[in-house]
Structure 1
Amino acid sequence: MAQRHAVVVGGGIGGLSAAIGLHRVGWRVTVYERAAAFDAIGAGISLWPNAQRALGELGVHPPLAPQRGGGLRTARGRRLARWDAAAFERRNGLPLGVVHRADLIETLCAELPASSLRAGVTVTSVSPDGLVRHDGGEVRADLVVAADGIRSPVRQAFWPSSRLAYSGGTAFRGVARLPEPQQLSTTWARGTEVGVLPLLDGRVYWWVSEAVPEGIRHADARAYLSAAYAGWHAPIPALIASTPEILHHDVFQLATPLPTFTRGRVALLGDAAHAMPPFLGQGGCQAIEDAVVLAAAMSTSDTVAAALTRYDAERRPRSQHVAQASIRAGAAGPLLRNRVALAIRNSVLRLAPSSVTSMVGGDINAWSPPSLPQPQASEPPTNPAS
């Protein structure tokens, strides 16, 4: 029997994870990435226990920084809640981990054969029967995985009524290096969140989320942030001042859930399927879950059609549930602007026992991946491709 071939459109976290899973269960995989290299535009990413289990099933072990302490604060530094990392780890079996996106992409690429990674290729169309056209020709695949991001051309072609909606928040992100060690912190003010997550090797990933109208831009993001957050507690001003490059983008989500993640031989995955706001830190985590479930379905189903039916049945309800939970988390946290509601929320947080933080994520973190078969002998992995 001829080896089945999958084309993955998009070489981000979800696409590469899907390629690894399919390669592990015996498929030949080709990943088309539009950018000139497989690298990451971004800063850090939090990998919650559910995603860490999924990566473990894929045999992938990125350089994670476990978050062992810290908590939730006001802008002046007053503690609202302590992060009970020990209780969280006892409850979930794993700590919250953080990794730089570039390090995660490098780790994922290293698990794939060099022949699978095709950078600098733009996919121009995908057909339900598996025909993929790109700027260098065309190929027919047994499976097409559309992991082409939040503005997915494949999703838009197959579900033209789907649209993105502004989440209500804009985000600044960066990675800095400070001389002294840092701890996890999340800081809430009216319509604002600032997050601080230490990475390995003394680096710190930080973000600022602001509830503002869509499209607001600043001629100098650093100057704006330095002035706006000058009076906030340490290390926030120092992080802003020390960051070589500050990214700024508005945050979008799918306006309405898709009725299905599949069409013919095509499966949507990650942001293409369930773009969500970042208020639970689950966007990338859900993409990794998608990847493991897709590979498991392909390894145990008689046909691609049956496997995709299983994939849709397992992934669509869960990922759409997480997306809605993330929207609710944003409304009660970073996007909350009503002063009375803010006062009530903060009072409740101060009175709650620290063990409450171990329940963050609840049933989301409890998820475990399906088992994949042992790797088959094939072309050895390579170093990250460019």
Structure 2
Amino acid sequence: MEVVGRAGIVGGGIAGLGAAIALRAAGWDVTLYERSPEFTEVGAGITLAANALAALDALGVGDAVRAMGVADRRALARNQDGRVLIDAHISDFVGGLVTVHRADLIAILAAAAPGECVRTGARVVRVDADGTVETETGAVQYDLVVAADGVNSVVRRVLWPGASLVRRTGITAWRWVLDVPAPDPVGVVLGRHGECGVVPMAGGRTYVFASARKGITSLDHFTNWPDPVPELIAATDRSRVVVDELVEIRVPRRLWCGHVVLVGDAGHAMRPTLGQGAGMALEDVVTLAAHATDLRIYQDARRRRVSAVSVVSRYGMRVTSPGSTTLAAVRDAALVATPNTLSVRMFRSVSTRALGNWQPPVGRVDPQ
């Protein structure tokens, strides 16, 4: 295959590894810089909806990820007092959902990324718009630089210095994985000032997530919530719980600057309401590989989409945890009064409108 050009990728997470696979398959000579000495992922579970799975298919690893899926099962949406608001199945809400541990997804992507392209233990200290990537050992110029270095992106800070790109939400999030099968019921509990979810994972494991509005900083807030939330909190080693404040990245007017392009959280970190952080990153890199020689096309294809998903993710939290007893009561009454089939259709409609029926601009690739 004729080499299209030289691409440098900053960051070895989901977006960076995906970009390495996609660009290499599209004919680029790729070098990926990861500051850690090995690929590890501090995190917990991650949910992959239909669009993320389509992107993983395009990267050639969709089957490996789907093999980690679990059988569909009953899932409830309840309120903080335990009242059932929606009684359905997991697939009714999100379609082809697969939940995996972040470390497992990283391992699958790392195995598919060309080993000779990867430089671990390489900390990038500066990137210029002309495509120059500087590490502690020297500088190299590329035809394309992919900034996949996450929420605290060094590249974004240098080349997109606009004020207030990072928005703090004041919302605390907790995520953890238990090495026990998911109990019944799974699903979500929608509270007044927070929410909690229980999701089954392959290998007899359970992914639990929770979030709470400003002023609530302890998991103890959830210990009197409906079962099985208290028992799942009691069963975990809290030192293994990932705790952080949710932040958002305001999507820049331009996702590219000179020879440099933003992908994933570096360009559009969003609230996890739709579970689309990884999905948007994977869409980014597959789209980029198809249009890497003209970043204006990538811009047109991605900016409106990620902006819309980010907005829906932000305002969706007004439903899942409205921050008001009155508003929560109105939400609960509306859902109880609505037939299950109509409620599910409504949630699916919101998700579909936000995500659309996304398809990769390129077909399945075979990692080299």
**What is the letter of the counterpart of residue 297 of structure 1?**
H
Q: C-alpha distance in 2, partners of 1:109/1:175?
A: 22
Q: C-alpha distance in 2, partners of 1:281/1:295?
A: 23
Deviation digits for residues 352-376 of structure 1 (CA, Å, limit 9, x no counterpart) = 2223324151223433233425647
When residues 141 and 172 of structure 1 are mapped into structure 2, their CA distance, relative to the original with a 3 A threshold, is same
Pairs within 5 Å for 1:144-155:
144-155=145-156
Of the candidates 71, 74, 96, which is equivalent to residue 69 of structure 1?
A: 74
Of the candidates 284, 292, 296, which is equivalent to residue 286 of structure 2?
A: 292
Deviation digits for residues 196-215 of structure 1 (CA, Å, limit 9, x no counterpart) = 111111111111101014xx
Asked if 1:211 is matched to 2:198, the reply is no
How far is the alpha carbon of 1:76 from its aligned partner?
Answer: 3.6
When residues 88 and 241 of structure 1 are mapped into structure 2, their CA distance, relative to the original with a 3 A threshold, is closer
Of the candidates 205, 219, 225, which is equivalent to residue 232 of structure 1?
A: 225
Match of 1:382 in 2: none
Q: C-alpha distance in 2, partners of 1:179/1:270?
A: 31
Deviation digits for residues 311-346 of structure 1 (CA, Å, limit 9, x no counterpart) = 011100100111011111012222x12222111111
Match of 1:60 in 2: 61
| Residues 29, 116 of structure 1: 8 Å contact kept | yes
Deviation digits for residues 81-102 of structure 1 (CA, Å, limit 9, x no counterpart) = 123445557xxxx422211100
158-167 or 357-366: bigger deviation: 357-366
| Residues 182, 201 of structure 2: 8 Å contact kept | no
When residues 101 and 183 of structure 1 are mapped into structure 2, their CA distance, relative to the original with a 3 A threshold, is farther
| Residues 51, 285 of structure 1: 8 Å contact kept | yes
Q: C-alpha distance in 2, partners of 1:2/1:208?
A: 46
| Residues 172, 212 of structure 2: 8 Å contact kept | yes
| Residues 70, 184 of structure 1: 8 Å contact kept | yes
Runs of 4+ in 1 over 6 A off after TM superposition: none
Asked if 1:5 is matched to 2:10, the reply is no
Of the candidates 364, 369, 374, which is equivalent to residue 354 of structure 2?
A: 364
Asked if 1:249 is matched to 2:230, the reply is no
How far is the alpha carbon of 1:67 from its aligned partner?
Answer: 4.6
What is the CA RMSD across the aligned residues, in angstroms?
Answer: 2.1
26-35 or 259-268: bigger deviation: 26-35
| Residues 50, 367 of structure 1: 8 Å contact kept | yes
Q: C-alpha distance in 1, partners of 2:56/2:152?
A: 25
Structure 1: gaps spanning 5 or more residues: 218-223, 299-303, 379-386
**What is the letter of the counterpart of residue 194 of structure 1?**
C
Question: 3-state DSSP class of the match of 2:203?
Answer: helix
316-325 or 76-85: bigger deviation: 76-85
How far is the alpha carbon of 1:52 from its aligned partner?
Answer: 1.0
| Residues 287, 298 of structure 2: 8 Å contact kept | yes
When residues 326 and 247 of structure 1 are mapped into structure 2, their CA distance, relative to the original with a 3 A threshold, is same
Match of 2:199 in 1: 197
Structure 2: gaps spanning 5 or more residues: none
Pairs within 5 Å for 1:6-155:
6-61=7-62, 62=65, 63-65=68-70, 67-85=72-90, 87=92, 94-155=95-156
How far is the alpha carbon of 1:276 from its aligned partner?
Answer: 1.0
When residues 179 and 186 of structure 1 are mapped into structure 2, their CA distance, relative to the original with a 3 A threshold, is closer
When residues 339 and 327 of structure 1 are mapped into structure 2, their CA distance, relative to the original with a 3 A threshold, is same
Question: 3-state DSSP class of the match of 2:106?
Answer: helix
Match of 1:319 in 2: 306
Match of 1:274 in 2: 268
The number of aligned residues is 356
Question: 3-state DSSP class of the match of 2:125?
Answer: strand
When residues 39 and 85 of structure 1 are mapped into structure 2, their CA distance, relative to the original with a 3 A threshold, is same
Match of 2:159 in 1: 158
